[in-house]
């Protein structure tokens, strides 16, 4: 629905600018004329997503903190190891679900996952959140879609515009 709204705004904006420029070949469409409606729509979508996540967190009675990007997190078991930093290799056990409870990915029955913090292809919400953790910490993240797989999903198990609930255990840092 939101994607259709964005496309509609773009089409109307482009059409109205094109119509207003007919007969005057010297006028050009300004990027600002197209960019501003997109910015406003993105702000609206982000606020709507934030409200949905807040209600989800409240229903589960989780005491979560929120970062400036909108990532929610709750460390529910404290480790005693070193703090994760960009450039380190993190080894994690994880479970990734949609907010409706659908399990998408898990490291159960597999080896833990390793990734280079700040450099590998992981959700930007996980990349951000891992730097809040010490080795041994167990955390629950609620990652807005724009910090996960965005408007397109992952073309596998995560649909477009899906916020994720990630349960993660930081096992080791190299």
Compute the residue count for the chain: 174
pLDDT surpasses 50 at 135:
yes
Residue % of the chain over a pLDDT of 90: 69
**What is the predicted pLDDT for the residue at 25?**
52
- Please compute the mean of the pLDDT values over residues 131-145 and round it to a whole number: 98
Residue % of the chain over a pLDDT of 70: 83
CA-to-CA distance for 50 and 89, rounded, in angstroms? 30
- Please compute the mean of the pLDDT values over residues 22-39 and round it to a whole number: 68
CA-to-CA distance for 137 and 83, rounded, in angstroms? 10
**What is the predicted pLDDT for the residue at 158?**
96
| Confidence band of 172 (pLDDT split at 50, 70, 90) | very high
65-173 CATH, one of 3.40.50.80, 3.10.50.40, 3.40.80.10, 3.30.465.10: 3.10.50.40
Q: Where do the domains of the chain lie?
A: 2-59, 65-173
**What is the predicted pLDDT for the residue at 43?**
86
Q: Mean pLDDT in the chain?
A: 87
130 burial via Cβ count (<10 Å: 0-12, 13-18, 19+): buried
> What is the rounded end-to-end Cα distance, in angstroms, of the chain?
44
**What is the predicted pLDDT for the residue at 24?**
52
How far are the Cα atoms of 16, 55, 105, 113, 136 from residue 120, in angstroms, in the given order? Answer: 42, 31, 17, 12, 21
pLDDT surpasses 90 at 68:
yes
Q: What is the per-residue pLDDT across 75-134, written as a single tens digit (0 to 9) for each?
A: 999 999 999 999 999 999 999 999 999 999 999 989 999 999 999 889 999 999 999 999
CA-to-CA distance for 117 and 131, rounded, in angstroms? 8
Q: Are 133 and 169 in contact (CB under 8 A)?
A: no
pTM above 0.85, yes or no: no
């Amino acid at each position: 629905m939101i994607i259709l709204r964005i496309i509609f705004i773009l089409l109307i904006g482009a059409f109205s600018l094109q119509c207003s420029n007919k007969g005057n070949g010297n006028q050009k469409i300004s990027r600002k004329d197209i960019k501003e409606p997109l910015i406003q729509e993105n702000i609206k979508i982000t606020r709507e997503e934030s409200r949905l996540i807040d209600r989800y967190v409240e229903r589960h009675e989780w005491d979560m903190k929120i970062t400036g990007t909108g990532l929610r997190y709750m460390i529910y078991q404290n480790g005693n190891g070193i703090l994760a930093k960009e450039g380190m290799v993190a080894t994690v056990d994880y479970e990734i679900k949609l907010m409706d409870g659908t399990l998408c990915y898990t490291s159960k029955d597999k080896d833990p996952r390793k990734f280079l913090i700040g450099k590998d292809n992981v959700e930007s919400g996980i990349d951000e959140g891992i730097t809040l953790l010490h080795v041994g910490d167990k955390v629950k993240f609620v990652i807005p879609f724009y910090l996960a797989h965005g408007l397109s999903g992952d073309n596998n198990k995560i649909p477009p515009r899906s916020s994720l609930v990630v349960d993660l255990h930081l096992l080791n840092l190299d």
